[in-house]
Amino acid sequence: MKEIVRLKIKFLFYNMAIVTAVIGVTFFAAAAVVKSRSYQETDQILSQIAEGAGSRIIFDGASQVRVPHFSVIVTADGAMLLQEGNYNSFPDQAFLDEVILLGMDGRGETGFLPEYSLKYFREARPEGVFLAFADTSYSETMMESVWQYGAAACVGIWLLFFVLSWFFAGWAVRPLEKAMTAQKEFVANASHELKTPLTILAANTELLSGHISGRDEESDKWLENMKQECQEMRKLVESLLTLARSDAGTGKKKAFSRFDFGELLMEELLTFEPVFYQAGRMLSYEDLEESRKFFVNGNREELKQLLQVLLDNAVRYSNPQSATTVSMEETGRGGFCLQVKSHGAPIPKEQREAVFERFYRGDTSRASGFGCGLGLSIAKEIAREHKAVLGLTCEDGANCFYLKMRTARSK
């Protein structure tokens, strides 16, 4: 069922959003800690070199770690005195001259030489300028490993949680799926069971009407009410059966054909004109008489039902003496947009999606006639089957239902 699939996807989305946030925060926090500790180790080495405490340190209780380093004293006359160290990567004297020059020209007492993977410490002493250098390639290599292997581990953990979340999402919605399946089966079965007695009731009402019609005004009124209620109940049962078939996917295969949608629209508008007139409302569609043809590929009866729902909705929920405007225009290449604009109580933005849900009814005090809240949900389903878009907007205080649909290719 579509509702269950959407619920499962939503459950999975929110769950994975939380998992992604937790994994991301944990990974970046761990990377930041490793980077900070490696910098602290390098700073501690430079500090120990400056104090002459040797090159061995204890890093957080672990085994002794030796960081390659060396130190130099530059005297006032420019002589460079290389001190003891364990840095064995001097390619030549030019390398030493270059790093010492960069260390002397640095803005601060400490700094980085990224092109040489060195960090320096500078201090003025009586015998000259003291420069200590520590190799940062170990820290850089360690950070690259953290990013490489840590990211791979995070992706693996994320995929594992994705699989587990998908499984638990299905497990979590299973009771709801069973309940919804049972509910829809009940609606379908009840609709089937009600169809036969309703048909018999309507037939008996017609027979009774033929026998006692005209005897007195009160009896005729009762018979007319019975006929009207039978018709409305039949419509309700047919609507429930239509939705039940759509949910179960057991309906007959729709026969699609190519026809002029504008012609079908004009037929329905002419049919509804007296309905609007009797309800004390106006129907305006002058612009359609000169519009070009819009051929579509679809089921004529279903699209006819969709138009009837939109026009019937305009009759029921528009203000007395107001005008409902129907227009249709081309939208780019290979498409058109039908608009049914009626002046009634404006539908709030947060309720515009809800009007297409089953059994939803807005302000019933402003509605005229009987309704069960299934028409727009059926129209939405018909639009979906035709790969069209049915929606609702509010323009200048009027509720505007629109249908966006693609035209059929010419033969």
pLDDT tens digit sequence for 150-185: 889 999 999 999 999 988 888 888 887 787 777 666
pLDDT at residue 62 greater than cutoff 70: no
> Quick one: CA dihedral 241, 247, 250, 251, positive or negative?
positive
Distances (CA, A) of 288 to 189, 235, 265: 43, 30, 9
> Quick one: CA dihedral 381, 387, 391, 396, positive or negative?
negative
pLDDT at residue 136 greater than cutoff 60: yes
The least confident of 243-252, 279-288, 361-370 is 361-370
Cβ of 379: how many Cβ atoms within 10 Å?
23
Closest CA to 118 of 80, 85, 74: 85
Looking at the chain, the whole-number percentage of residues with pLDDT higher than 70 is: 81
* pLDDT at res. 90: 60
Average pLDDT of the chain?
Answer: 80
* pLDDT at res. 86: 65
pLDDT at residue 21 greater than cutoff 90: yes
Which strand ranges, in their side-by-side order, compose the sheet holding 69-74? 80-82, 69-74, 128-135, 118-125, 110-113
Residue 209 pLDDT level (bands cut at 50, 70, 90): confident
CATH number at 257-406 = 3.30.565.10
pLDDT at residue 104 greater than cutoff 60: yes
Average pLDDT of 390-410?
A: 87
* pLDDT at res. 411: 59
Closest CA to 313 of 345, 349, 337: 345
Question: Given phi > 0 = left and psi -120 to 50 = alpha, else beta, which region is 321?
Answer: left
Cβ of 106: how many Cβ atoms within 10 Å?
16
Record the pTM: 0.52
User: Cα torsion for 122, 126, 127, 130, to the nearest 10°?
Assistant: -10
